[in-house]
Amino acid sequence: EVQLVESGGGLVQPGRSLRLSCTASGFTFGDYGMNWFRQAPGKGLEWVGFISIKSYGGTTEYVASVKGRFTISRDDSKSIAYLQMNSLKIEDTGVYYCTRVVTYSGYDSSDYWGQGTLVTVSS
């Protein structure tokens, strides 16, 4: 059974850093790209970023609002994807989800989602 479990969320002051982890099981982690999404309280969903598989260079993509502050990485030996968040802002508050990415007919699509982890940026 495919499972994704996010961890590392919590309360953090503006300007500080936090690292989220996404621990995967039930599939060969290294064969899949991974997306991160987030959802501010009471708001809609937002895509945050993506990391490809190692054989595609482990390339990353980010939404403009986090570019230069957030970094996605992966450790295939541990089946974990990371979201390193620096210079956090109040507007980064929300539930963060990791997802598995499946490529179908040239399109990347998120099939399985984790349960999410809450990040609260507040002084």
Partner 1 sequence: DIQMTQSPSSLSASVGDRVTITCRASQGIRNGLGWYQQKPGKAPKRLIYVASILQSGVPSRFSGSGSDTEFTLTISSLQPEDFATYYCLQHNSYPFTFGQGTKLEIK
* CB nearer partner 1, residue 85 or residue 98: 98
Only segment of 19-27, 68-76, 79-87, 113-121 that touches partner 1 (CB under 8 A): 113-121
Size of the site for partner 1 (CB under 8 A): 23
Exposed, middle or buried: residue 72 (CB in 10 Å: 0-12, 13-18, 19+)? buried
Angle, alpha carbons 83-19-64 (nearest 5°):
40
> With binding defined as CB under 8 A, does residue 107 bind partner 1?
yes
What is the footprint of partner 1 within residues 6-65 (CB under 8 A)?
35, 37, 44-47, 50, 61-64
As a whole number of angstroms, the distance between CA 55 and CA 113 comes to 23
> With binding defined as CB under 8 A, does residue 114 bind partner 1?
yes
- In the chain, count H helices and then E strands: 0, 11
Residue 86 Cβ vs partner 1, minimum distance, rounded to whole Å: 19
Residue 24 Cβ vs partner 1, minimum distance, rounded to whole Å: 15
- C-beta of residue 82 within 8 angstroms of C-beta of residue 111: no
Phi, psi (degrees; rounded to nearest 5) at 79: 60, 45
> With binding defined as CB under 8 A, does residue 70 bind partner 1?
no
* CB nearer partner 1, residue 109 or residue 122: 109
